[in-house]
Amino acid sequence: MTKQIILNAFEMNSAMHNSHGLWKHPRSQRHRRYKDLDYWMDLAKLLERGKFDAVFLADVLGIYDVYKKSKDPSIRDGLQVPLNDPALVIPAMASVTEHLSFAMTVSTTYEAPFGNARRFSTLDHLTKGRVAWNVVTSYLPNAARNFGLENMIKHDERYDIADEYLDVSYKLWETSWEDDAFVEDAENNTLVDPDKVHEINHEGKYFSVEGPHLSEPSLQRTPVIYQAGTSERGREFASKHAECIFVGGPTPERIHYYADDIRKRAENHGRNPDNIKIFSFLSVIVGETTEEAEQKFEEYARHWSPDAAKAQYGASGYDISEYEEMDPDLPFEYTKSTEGGHYKAATLTKDAPKKLTVGEVLNRFESPDRNSIIVGNPKEVADAIQFQFEESGVDGFNLNHLVTPGDLEDFVDLVIPELQERGLYKKDYQEGTLREKLFPHGESVLPEDHPGSQYRYSLT
């Protein structure tokens, strides 16, 4: 059978995610409705109608304030603020769907592993195994200050913490409770057999957790692990722990390079690369006709906010306003290193298809990047998606949307049937948990070659 595209809808429990300034568009509903359960339930039903695999809920724990060294541009434009807790909308979405899964972002730098493990177990129970964890180490300096730190923990050390965090989590999910601990034995007055519930007694460099885990095992035990590290250290972490990995890059070749690198690293960790799915970013503006789609793009461009785009670029740790007074013909380069995320920083330098000048870089923020958005009628969009899918060697995409929910409705109604007709996209869901849907030959729990499975029942 032809390999089929896996699709996540890229979302955030926020007034605005990646669509800078587009809350002003007359069709935008999210900035008013994201606070309503109805909005999330309608969205979930729409995505399930489009046979989406998952809704991916991004999250941050602070405000972007690197650009102009101020929070004002982000707040003014609603750049990922106001922002609510992603976990709390999942049960509502799960209640109106049967197959759609939920990938939720949680930071290993700021949230304690014991509470996090319980939250994921709870969600995995309530959704019947439809939950994934997007593990992030967080790139915002304001987040550090929100959690009592004067400065951000260094980039690579954040991943060292994350490594230990995952070990603690595996112990809670995989070791702490045996499968048959919940005995419900009225004769012997025993609901849960104490011999089958274990403390984990983790004592490490960063965490100390006695246990046992408070939740009984859920269908997946460990939620499906997502990750999006781009740096050397990030890819090393991803290839060890993650089952779904996002790679960014401006060209299919660059994405292919990262995908191959991650699969190779996974093999070095003793993992079968087939047990990893790789995703890249997808942004689409579709119309019934090419002209309609082009008109939409023009309309979107009119509402665009360059300031919000520049503020979001602060995730790299670089303040793009420092370049605004420079000679635009100078080559664009960074003069210092930062503790921010490497993904955004790399897009303008080592991942860019050609060396850029300061002027070219500044110009990129002025309008939606036409090179990274597919604009066209359903057939043209499907052609472009097929090209990216085949050339970049990825397994699927994280679909961004600029005007919500309109862009998603158009995608479901116009593009999905075209992809289905080409055999590139499923017509029906697989049964089972998210892990079983993603890896139909495997089980609901972590596969044997995953480092987390070594913790199963083997107290050390």
Ligand X SMILES: Cc1cc2nc3c(=O)[nH]c(=O)nc-3n(C[C@H](O)[C@H](O)[C@H](O)COP(=O)(O)O)c2cc1C
Q: Contact residues for ligand X (CB under 6 A)? A: 58-60, 105, 136-139, 228-231, 234, 246, 248, 281, 341-343, 398
Give the nearer residue to ligand X in terms of CB position, either 30 or 296: 30
Nearest to 312 by CA among 25, 12, 99, 9: 12
Give the nearer residue to ligand X in terms of CB position, either 52 or 177: 52
Give the nearer residue to ligand X in terms of CB position, either 28 or 138: 138
Whole-angstrom distance, CA of residue 230 vs CA of residue 232? 7
Give the nearer residue to ligand X in terms of CB position, either 281 or 297: 281
Q: Are 102 and 40 in contact (CB under 8 A)?
A: no
Q: How far is the CB of 1 from ligand X (least distance, A)?
A: 27
Q: How far is the CB of 283 from ligand X (least distance, A)?
A: 11
Q: At a CB cut-off of 8 Å and minimum separation 6, what does 342 contact?
A: 155, 230, 231, 234, 316
Whole-angstrom distance, CA of residue 275 vs CA of residue 445? 12
Q: How far is the CB of 212 from ligand X (least distance, A)?
A: 30
Whole-angstrom distance, CA of residue 187 vs CA of residue 192? 13
Sign of the alpha-carbon dihedral angle for 343, 346, 348, 351? negative
Whole-angstrom distance, CA of residue 79 vs CA of residue 20? 7
Whole-angstrom distance, CA of residue 226 vs CA of residue 244? 5
Q: How far is the CB of 150 from ligand X (least distance, A)?
A: 20
Listed in order, strand segments (DSSP E) in 193-289 are 202-203, 208-209, 224-227, 244-246, 277-286
> Helix, strand, or coil here: 398?
strand
Q: How far is the CB of 428 from ligand X (least distance, A)?
A: 27
Whether the link from the prior residue into 440 is cis, omega within 30° of 0, is no
Q: Which amino acid is at 193?
A: D
Q: How far is the CB of 4 from ligand X (least distance, A)?
A: 20
Whole-angstrom distance, CA of residue 427 vs CA of residue 357? 46
Give the nearer residue to ligand X in terms of CB position, either 39 or 139: 139
Q: How far is the CB of 153 from ligand X (least distance, A)?
A: 12
Give the nearer residue to ligand X in terms of CB position, either 237 or 297: 237
Whole-angstrom distance, CA of residue 402 vs CA of residue 127? 28
Q: How far is the CB of 247 from ligand X (least distance, A)?
A: 7
Give the nearer residue to ligand X in terms of CB position, either 177 or 313: 313
Strand partners, 286: 376
Nearest to 8 by CA among 59, 47, 66, 65: 47
Closest CB to ligand X: residue number: 234
Backbone torsions φ then ψ of 63, nearest 5 degrees: -105, 145
Give the nearer residue to ligand X in terms of CB position, either 83 or 358: 83
Give the nearer residue to ligand X in terms of CB position, either 137 or 305: 137
Q: How far is the CB of 162 from ligand X (least distance, A)?
A: 10
